[in-house]
Amino acid sequence: MWKYLGYAGIILPVLGATYGGLQIAADLERKLNDSFQMAEEAHKRIGDIEGTMDFEQEESERKIKDGLERLSMALDNNKMLQESKVEGLQRELLELQRVLTTVEGTTQTLEKNSFTYVTRTELDSLRELIYQVRDSNMSQGDNTQMLFELQRQIEDINRRIDEHNHGNWN
């Protein structure tokens, strides 16, 4: 028995050390389990955050894509509207140019014909007056008043021709 008691001195510290080692191992295992559980929770939270970030990123990308499509459509609509306005303006300008050309041609014709018709009318009246003077000369002796009237009309025609040649058509 003593023999066993001698061993007790060795066995008790070994048992104490083993018990202490088991306590340390159990404590380590508990800490390891806690750490593992915290790591799993951290991974889960990271996964949730990544999922949320992915969802938010996809949502943002979708919103950006939708916004760009709406902007592109608005730009296309605006471009078509502007092209339509430009085409309408070009049509109006062509019509206006046609009208201006017609007015210009008509004005030039009227100016040319106005001078011609006025001159011809005046010349016809002058010719008539000449015939009257000639007829009157044959029947009467004093035609001074008619000659003065004839000279005045010739001067008036010359003045109008000069005005026309200098650009005053009034």
As for how many domains the chain has, the answer is 1
Residue 97 resides in a domain:
yes
Lowest mean pLDDT among 56-65, 79-88, 101-110: 101-110
| Bigger pLDDT: 73 vs 134 | 73
pLDDT by residue (tens digit) across 33-73?
A: 999 999 999 999 988 888 888 888 889 899 999 999 999 99
Is the four-CA dihedral 44, 46, 47, 48 of positive or negative sign? positive
Residue 19 resides in a domain:
yes
Residue 9 resides in a domain:
yes
Report the distance separating Cα 150 and Cα 126, nearest Å. 7
Matching residue, tokens 């023999």 = 3
When the pLDDT of each residue in the chain is averaged and rounded to a whole number, the result is 78
Residue 95 resides in a domain:
yes
| Bigger pLDDT: 118 vs 30 | 30
Is the four-CA dihedral 153, 159, 164, 165 of positive or negative sign? positive
Residue 170 resides in a domain:
no
Residue 7 resides in a domain:
yes
Residue 154 resides in a domain:
yes
Q: Residue 77 above 90 pLDDT?
A: yes
Confidence band of 14 (pLDDT split at 50, 70, 90): confident
Report the distance separating Cα 46 and Cα 86, nearest Å. 58
pTM, two decimals, is 0.39
Residue 110 resides in a domain:
yes
**What is the domain extent for residue 71?**
2-165
Burial class (CB in 10 A: 0-12, 13-18, 19+), 146: middle
Task: Give me the helix-helix angle, 2-139 and 144-165, nearest 10°.
Answer: 160
